Amino acid sequence: MTVAGDNCLAIRQLSLRVDGQMLFRTLDLAVAPGTVVVVTGPSGAGKSSLLAFLCGTLPPEFDAQGAVWLDGDDISRLPPEKRGLGILFQEPLLFPHLSVRGNLLFGLREGDSRKTRRLIVDRELDAMGLAGFGDRDPVTLSGGQKARVALLRVLLARPRALLLDEPFLGLDDANRAKVRQLVFDEIRRRQLPTLLVTHDRDDVACADGPVVALTRP
């Protein structure tokens, strides 16, 4: 195991309990910048709960011990919006009541004028190969397009680390490889420490990073 460095996402001595029952063995883990650590494990092993703990959205019936550090700070007690962790789920979860551009503007950090913000978003869409999609209703997009918008939305929020919850599972074969490549390229380009939860062998292969299996205690 790597030692937690300054630019790492680190999990220290983490254990999760429901009704006194431990979900997996105490976890210690550090993710270096630009690295994708893969977390696997049987269903019900607590993979989603682990991600919820990291994000700060763990339901109160869970009892969590341990801490999560990012860039040398303990972020365990911070509210989700202050943690600087971006998450991508299996479904793209674009807000159905906002346009594609509205979704991206929601992600984009504040500052700049309205006009500039729109320009930024449209430029990024262009770079993603989605030029002219700003006014579209998210529901009308294809699976691959939605996934790209979701990725863009996360990146615009300038996260310091990324969490991926089987994000390529819902895509067809052709799109899956393309989107996966896109995501991993961005991770490396931006040097984001990343935690990937997946069952998919191809995901593991492409991640090219350490694999951690959650096991029952």
| Binding residues vs another protein (CB under 8 A) | 52, 55-57, 59, 79-81, 83, 85-87, 89, 91, 93-99, 106-107, 109, 137-140, 153-154, 157, 159
To another protein, the closest distance from the beta carbon of 96 in angstroms equals 3
- The Cα 60–Cα 56 span in angstroms is 11
| Phi then psi dihedrals of residue 216, to 5 deg | -65, 145
User: With respect to another protein, which residue has the nearer C-beta, 5 or 84?
Assistant: 84
- The Cα 37–Cα 11 span in angstroms is 12
To another protein, the closest distance from the beta carbon of 107 in angstroms equals 5
Angle at 106 between CA 102 and CA 107, to 5 degrees: 120
User: With respect to another protein, which residue has the nearer C-beta, 8 or 52?
Assistant: 52
To another protein, the closest distance from the beta carbon of 82 in angstroms equals 8
User: With respect to another protein, which residue has the nearer C-beta, 109 or 201?
Assistant: 109
What letter represents residue 101's amino acid? Answer: R
Sequence-distant (≥ 6) Cβ neighbours of residue 183 within 8 angstroms: 88, 151, 164, 167, 168
User: With respect to another protein, which residue has the nearer C-beta, 73 or 81?
Assistant: 81
User: With respect to another protein, which residue has the nearer C-beta, 27 or 154?
Assistant: 154
- The Cα 102–Cα 184 span in angstroms is 25
| Phi then psi dihedrals of residue 142, to 5 deg | -75, 170
